[in-house]
Amino acid sequence: MTETTGASPLAPEWLAVPADLNALHAPMWAAGVERNDGGELAIDGIPVSELKAQFGSPLFVMSETDFRARARAFKDAFDAAFEDICGGVDVYYAGKSFLCTAVASWVAEEGLRLDTCSGGELAVAARAGIDGANLGLHGNNKSDAEINRALDMKLGRIVVDSLDELERVAKIASARGEVAKVMLRLTPGVHAHTHEFIATAHEDQKFGLSMAGDSTEEAGLSAAEEAVAAATSYDSIELLGLHCHIGSQIFEPEGFALAAEKLLVFLAAMQSKYSIVLPELDLGGGYGIAYTPVDTPRPAAEIAQAMAAVVRSSCAGLGIKAPRISIEPGRAIVGSSTFTLYETGTLKTVRVDAPAGADGAENVTFPRRYVSVDGGMSDNARPVLYDADYSAVLASRTSLAEPQLSRVVGKHCESGDIVVRDVYLPADVAAGDLLAVPGTGAYCWALSSNYNYLARPGVVAVRGGTARWIVRGETEEDLLNRDMGVANV
C-alpha cells in the first residue's frame, strides 16, 4: 500500500485510503444515489435525514428503479447473447436473496421468472399473483406439503435435489394423477469463489446429485445418471433437463463456462444412451457485486457472451441441438439496489499492536476507532456468517476531517457483531451522524433476526422521487405478538 496520510498499518492490504472520503464509488451504489448540494447523501433527491425522520433507522433503502434496471439488464444481455443459440434465456430471480410481494411483482413486470425454495416463498409469490408456470422450487429437503403446494400452483419446474426426493415427487404426483415438471440438480464438481474456481471429482455437500462415476452403490453409475434413468421411468415425471449452481459472489466467467461444458457433455450422453430429449439447462446464479472498491463485477453482457460462446461450441462439438438455457441471479439484481441507513452512537478508540512485520512498527500501537450503530448482526449477518466485507460512508454530511481507520459495529451482545470490519471514515464522525452501508440488498433483510429483541428494520422503496414502505419495520407490538403471555404459564 502506498503511504498516504491517515493510512493505518492495522488496515488490511486491500484497503486504500480514499482520495476523497466524501466520494461515492459508483459500482457499490444504486442509480440515483448521490450527494446533494448540501453534501448530504440523497436518493432520487430525497435526503437521508428525511428518510430517517419519516421511517426511522436502521432502514433498508432500496431503489426500485435500480432493481428493475438490473433485472432488465440481465434479461436483455442474456437474451441477446443466446438468441441464435436457443432463442433467448429464462432468467429466474433467486427470491431467497430478497423477497416480498412488491419485488415479486417487479420481477414479473420486467419479464423475469422467480425461484423459490420453501412453502413460505411460494406463499409470497402466490400473494403477489405470480403465475405458477413462471415459478421454480428449489431445496434439498422439500416437505410433502411443499411438493403438494408446488403441484397445486402448477409450478413450471421443481428442481429435484436427490434420488430420494425424485421418488417422493413421483409418488405424490402419481397419487394426484398429475405429471410433475422436474429438473435435476447436479453437482459438476466445479466450485467458484470470487476470483478462483476449483474443480473436484467428488462432492462432499448436501446439495445435488453427484456426477462422479462411483458415487452410488451401483458401481460405475453416477447418482446423476441413476436419477436420469429413474426420472425417465416414472409416468408422473416430465424430465425437463439439468441444473447446476456452482457458488456465489463469482467474478470470473470461467467457472460458469466449465460447469456448462460438463453439463452439456453429460446431457448429450444421457440423450443418446436413454433415447430422450432434455430440452432445458439451468446454469444457476452467483454473479458477483461490488461490496468494496476492490470488487470488480463484470457487466451482464460480458458474462452472457462468455457463457454463450461455450454453450455454442460445446453443442456444435457434441452435435446436439442446444437446450433452452436459464440462469438464476439473486445478488447481482438486488444487492446493489439497496443501502442500509444507520445512526451512529457510542464511539470508542482502542490502541492495537501493529501486525507482525508491519514497517517500522515494532513496539508501537495504532488506533482503531469503533463506531457503534443502531443495528448490527440482526440486520446484516453476513460479516458474522461469511466474514463478508462491506464499506460505509458518512451520509448526513460531508467532512474534510482526516481519514481514520474505523470499525462499524452493532449494538448486540456479541463481540463479533461487526457491520464493516475496516473502513476509513472522517475523524470527526460523532454520535447522531447517519452512516450508509451500500450493497445490502441481498441476504441482509432476508437473514435478519430479532436477536436481543431488536425490531427488524423495514424496507423502503424509492422511485421517481417518492419513498414508500414495501415491508414496514417491526414494532415493539410485533415483537410481543407471539409471546403467549404470563396468563398461560
Q: d(Cα 85, Cα 269) in Å, to the nearest integer?
A: 20
Which residue positions form the known binding site for substrate?
331, 382, 386, 414, 443
Q: d(Cα 344, Cα 405) in Å, to the nearest integer?
A: 16
Q: Is 472 helix (H, G, I), strand (E, B) or coil?
A: coil
Q: d(Cα 416, Cα 421) in Å, to the nearest integer?
A: 10
Residue 186 CB, shortest distance to ligand PLP, in Å, is: 12
Place of cell 471514515: 425
Looking at the Cβ atoms of 118 and 391, the one nearer to ligand PLP is 118
Q: Does the annotation count 413 as an active-site position?
A: yes
Residue 134 CB, shortest distance to ligand PLP, in Å, is: 16
Looking at the Cβ atoms of 328 and 433, the one nearer to ligand PLP is 328
What DSSP string describes 105-130? HHHHHTT-EEEE-SHHHHHHHHHTT-
Q: Dig out the grid coordinates for 42 from the structure.
A: 440523497
Q: d(Cα 178, Cα 155) in Å, to the nearest integer?
A: 12
Q: d(Cα 287, Cα 333) in Å, to the nearest integer?
A: 9
Q: 100, 244, 413, 444: which is the annotated catalytic residue?
A: 413
Q: d(Cα 87, Cα 98) in Å, to the nearest integer?
A: 29
Task: Provide the 8-state DSSP code for 216.
Answer: S
Residue 39 CB, shortest distance to ligand PLP, in Å, is: 34
Measure the N-to-C terminal CA separation of the chain; round to a whole number of Å: 61
Contact (Cβ atoms closer than 8 angstroms) between residue 331 and residue 248:
yes
Residue 460 CB, shortest distance to ligand PLP, in Å, is: 22
Element (DSSP H or E) covering residue 422: strand 418-426
- Those residues whose C-beta lies under 8 Å from the C-beta of residue 118, and which sit 6 or more positions away, are 139, 146
Which residue positions form the known binding site for pyridoxal 5'-phosphate?
286, 328-331, 443
Q: Dig out the grid coordinates for 250 from the structure.
A: 463469482
Nearest CA to 142 among 132, 155, 130, 133? 155
Contact (Cβ atoms closer than 8 angstroms) between residue 373 and residue 451:
no
Residue 239 CB, shortest distance to ligand PLP, in Å, is: 18
Residue 364 CB, shortest distance to ligand PLP, in Å, is: 41
Q: Give the full edge-to-edge strand order of the sheet including 33-35.
A: 33-35, 41-43, 46-47
Q: Indicate the pairing of strand 33-35 with strand 338-353.
A: unpaired
Nearest CA to 26 among 382, 391, 399? 391
Residue 248 CB, shortest distance to ligand PLP, in Å, is: 4
Give me the residues that bind ligand PLP (CB under 6 A), please: 94, 96-97, 138, 245, 248, 284-287, 328-332, 442
What backbone torsions phi and psi does residue 249 show, to the nearest 5 degrees? 55, 50
Nearest CA to 336 among 95, 123, 68? 68
What backbone torsions phi and psi does residue 11 show, to the nearest 5 degrees? -75, 145
Cα angle value 33/38/42 (rounded, 5°): 20
What backbone torsions phi and psi does residue 71 show, to the nearest 5 degrees? -60, -50
Q: Is 377 helix (H, G, I), strand (E, B) or coil?
A: coil
Residue 245 CB, shortest distance to ligand PLP, in Å, is: 4
Residues belonging to the active site: 413
